Chains A and B, each alone.
Chain A
């Protein structure tokens, strides 16, 4: 009877190719056996067939019983990491989008409504599908090709009570929001720098419109600047990831931070002293826009600030990075002292 074929097909099409025929043959036999028992020696009616099929249940649930394979795209071993990456990716892209929106509005405040609509629409058409899609795709890919090795790995590693991590002490603990914010800021900086480095300067407004930008940076050096910035911010992201991984301040983490910070410092010092990163015609350009006139008091002040910029950048950077280190070191120390008592 045709309806039996339809039922068997509905079950078997949900099974892996290799089992399909065998299960289908067996199911045909089963249905016939059940019908035979039901009607004994009388004729089989359509109603009998229907009751038998209803008794066997929905083809999907029967197929599910046959399949004992896992039924998820991303397994429990990867799930936590997946959610974490998704969070960071979402926050970063939302931050970037918002920044772009704000910049657009500053340049062209009259079209704010257009920009706003675009901003909102892009969430549903680009941001969310892209971030969700690619993150999920990446993890699903890993899950699919790991074929349960992940689980085995976790089991094989073995477990003993002494390998349990200590309960984190409040003072040493790094809040998750801290490195996540860090990563988001770095991503934001990278994107801003690579797409709009020419806007990094003094904005000249004339008649309520942006007339031009006097850039802080030397345009001739943008290429190598962006490359170095990638390395520096990339190192920053790695550093924040380590914080996420360790979850608390340890000497290891402080050492690692120290190495990253010193490399960053060396790179920045190199950039500033050897590469002429600042706009060499900054003062002249300012004069062109009539912002300052040569010989005035304002001119001297701006020139002084401009000339000392390098010095203060280095000072701030060195202190910032050192503080990062010292703060971490103090946190480890404090916790250790408390423990020793």
Chain B
């Protein structure tokens, strides 16, 4: 692995850590179990390992942002997660912040691009 890729890996890991939380919360207006969430996120281009997502869901539940319920009616029992009232509130606030950040970053990067274009 090249030097640049090594750094990229590390930085991407840090970058993902926060975005995965937003990604997971954003998909939980409807109840989902862990693996179905992995699949939906993957379909939408966000790849997250189950070994990361499962503990995250549990932590968010402990913090009160998610609620959970075991569904034992299906072929195998599954634990479904759903946004709590608090979780919805937090997600809304979080999305506003995220939007601001995206706008600012876009602006920063565009500025740089235009500078380069001048050369």
Residues of A within 8 A of B (CB): 19, 22-23, 25-30, 32-34, 37, 55-57, 61-62, 65-66, 68
Counted as pairs of residues, one from A and one from B, with CB atoms less than 8 Å apart, the total is 44
> Which of B33, B51, B76, B79 has a CB less than 8 Å from the CB of A56?
B51
B77–A30 CB distance below 8 A: no
* 13 pairs, CB–CB < 8 Å, chain A vs chain B: A22-B79, A26-B34, A26-B54, A27-B54, A29-B33, A29-B35, A29-B78, A30-B50, A34-B50, A65-B51, A65-B52, A66-B58, A68-B55
Bound Cα distance A123, B33 (Å): 58
Query: What's the minimum C-beta distance from A68 to chain B, rounded to whole angstroms?
Result: 6
Contacts of B51 in A (CB 8 A): 56-57, 61-62, 65
Contacts of A22 in B (CB 8 A): 79
Nearest B residue (CB) for A25: B77
Nearest B residue (CB) for A57: B51
- State whether the Cβ of B16 lies closer than 8 Å to any Cβ in chain A: no
Contacts of B29 in A (CB 8 A): none
Bound Cα distance A14, B76 (Å): 25
Counting contact residues on chain B (CB < 8 A from A), the size range is 10 to 19
B58–A23 CB distance below 8 A: yes
Contacts of B50 in A (CB 8 A): 30, 34, 56
Query: What's the minimum C-beta distance from A40 to chain B, rounded to whole angstroms?
Result: 14
Contacts of B55 in A (CB 8 A): 62, 65-66, 68
Contacts of B70 in A (CB 8 A): 25
> Which of B35, B39, B52, B79 has a CB less than 8 Å from the CB of A25?
B79
Bound Cα distance A165, B77 (Å): 60
Bound Cα distance A284, B95 (Å): 96
B52–A26 CB distance below 8 A: no
Bound Cα distance A61, B51 (Å): 9
- State whether the Cβ of B69 lies closer than 8 Å to any Cβ in chain A: no
> Which of B54, B58, B59 has a CB less than 8 Å from the CB of A30?
B54
Residues 27-45 of chain B, each 1 if its beta carbon lies under 8 Å from chain A, else 0? 0000001110001000000
Contacts of B35 in A (CB 8 A): 29-30, 33-34, 37
Nearest A residue (CB) for B70: A25
14 A-B pairs besides A25-B77, A28-B76, A29-B35 with CB distance below 8 A are A19-B58, A25-B79, A26-B34, A29-B77, A29-B78, A29-B79, A30-B34, A32-B76, A34-B35, A61-B51, A62-B51, A65-B52, A66-B58, A68-B55
Bound Cα distance A68, B58 (Å): 10
Bound Cα distance A37, B76 (Å): 15
Query: What's the minimum C-beta distance from B79 to chain A, rounded to whole angstroms?
Result: 5
